[in-house]
Amino acid sequence: MNARKIYPLIVVLITLSVVGILFIQMSWINNAIKLKHEEFQRSVDNVLKQTRETVFGKYLTKQTNYILDEDSRRFYLANHFTIEGSFTKDEITEIIRRELKNSNIKQSSFEYCITNIYKNVILHSDHFTAADMEGAYRVELAPEDSYRARETLFLSIREDKNLIIREMGWMIVASIVFTTIIVLAFAVTVRTLFNQKKLSEIKSDFINNMTHELKTPLATISLAIDALTNEKVIHDTDKIKIYSGMIKEENKRMNKQVEKILQAARLEKEEIKLTLQKLDAHQVISKVAHNMALQIQEKNGSIDLRLAATDAVVEADEVHFSNIIFNLLDNAMKYSTEAPKIVVETLKHGNGMLTIKVKDNGIGMDRETQARIFEKFYRAHTGNIHNVKGFGLGLSYVKAIVEAHDGRIKVESAPGKGSTFTITLPGGIR
- Say how many residues make up the chain: 430
Does the pLDDT at position 323 exceed 70? yes
Domain spans in the chain, listed from the N-terminal domain onward: 3-167, 169-268, 276-426
Residue type, 22: L
C-alpha distance from residue 192 to each of 6, 13, 195, 371 (Å): 14, 15, 5, 19
Determine the pLDDT at residue 430: 46
Reported as a pLDDT band with limits 50, 70 and 90, residue 382 is very low
Record the pTM.
0.48
Query: What is the CATH architecture assignment of 169-268?
Result: Orthogonal Bundle (1.10)
Distance CA 136, CA 127 (A): 14
Determine the pLDDT at residue 297: 82
Determine the pLDDT at residue 386: 41
**Nearest-10 crossing angle of helices 3-63, 89-102:** 140
- For the stretch 115-138, pLDDT in tens is 988 888 889 998 888 888 888 899
C-alpha distance from residue 214 to each of 65, 131, 376, 389 (Å): 116, 90, 19, 11
The superfamily CATH assigns to domain 276-426 is Histidine kinase-like ATPase, C-terminal domain (3.30.565.10)
